[in-house]
Amino acid sequence: MKIAFIGDIVGRPGRDMVKKHLQNIRDEYNIDFVVANYENASHGFGLTLKNCNELVACGIDVMSGGNHTWDKKDILPLFDTHELLRPHNYPKGVPGTGCKVYEIAGEKLAVLNLMGHYSMPYTDNAFRCAKESVEKLHAEGVKNIFIDFHAEATSEKRGMMMLLQGQVSGIIGTHTHVSSDDFQISKGTAYLSDIGLSGCRDNVIGMDAKVPLKQFLTGMKGHFDIPKKCKSILQIAVMDFDDGVCKKAFKLKYFDDGRVIKTDAWVEED
């Protein structure tokens, strides 16, 4: 099966790039299933019902969350009506789930959403949750497992890779909005520390630079805002899973000026 993953979709610029390119990408690369992170989709903070429906109509099959999952009140009923995830390591009793299994191209695919600890809201241990969830999925006969690990620290993301390589098909990090250059396949597991944002690319992590710069210079905080005009980008990873193993993976960058850059994941030899 071929699955694709889009990291943090930031505001209207990110949604517009998804709307413009995703269906063509699905057709060109014969994508079976698309996962995308929604937590910044509605003006940079959370997800509204309107924007959720807009993204689903673009061809996204399931959406994952993170520390901004709860920023919009619309989100609570959507866990019962839409294919949405929130970090699975939130404590018991929190609405929604962070793990779902789908039938894709005659095989089962599990999508697992986890959140790290450094500079993040309080949650249960992400690594224990990951280990227990993967063991349970294996016991249920699910081999193809994809993880969106929403975390600030690259050390946590790399640690998750060391814990689960050879046991899951793919682990891709989100949250920092800055793409990393370490897309690889190791022991059959695709790994990328951070896929980077889809949205404005000529500012500070998708937000207008004025407030962040003021904060850096003076220590005075303000409300982050999405620019009305900006240069934008869509970043998407494509992975080919077969019987739990990632056979091939690459990343695509679509720029609003028409450029497209493709980067293959390297294979780490045993």
Catalytic residue numbers?
A: 68
Q: How far apart are CA 61 and CA 84, in angstroms?
A: 9
Q: With beta carbons less than 8 A apart as the criterion, state whether 126 and 117 touch.
A: yes
Please choose, from the candidates 255, 245, 144, the residue with its C-alpha nearest in 3D space to the C-alpha of residue 196: 255
Q: Please report, for residues 18, 86, 137, the alpha-carbon distance to residue 79 in angstroms, rounded to integers and kept in the order given.
A: 22, 9, 21
Q: How far apart are CA 118 and CA 145, in angstroms?
A: 24
Q: Tokens in use for 68?
A: 């901004």
Q: Tokens in use for 169?
A: 């098909």
What residues does 148 pair with on adjacent strands? 113, 172
Q: Please tell me the number of Cα atoms within 13 Å of 242 on its side-chain side.
A: 4
Q: With beta carbons less than 8 A apart as the criterion, state whether 59 and 6 touch.
A: no
Contacts of 169 (CB under 8 A, 6+ apart): 143, 144, 145, 146, 188, 189, 190, 239, 241, 244, 245, 246
Please choose, from the candidates 196, 199, 174, 229, the residue with its C-alpha nearest in 3D space to the C-alpha of residue 42: 199
| Cα-trace Rg, the chain | 17
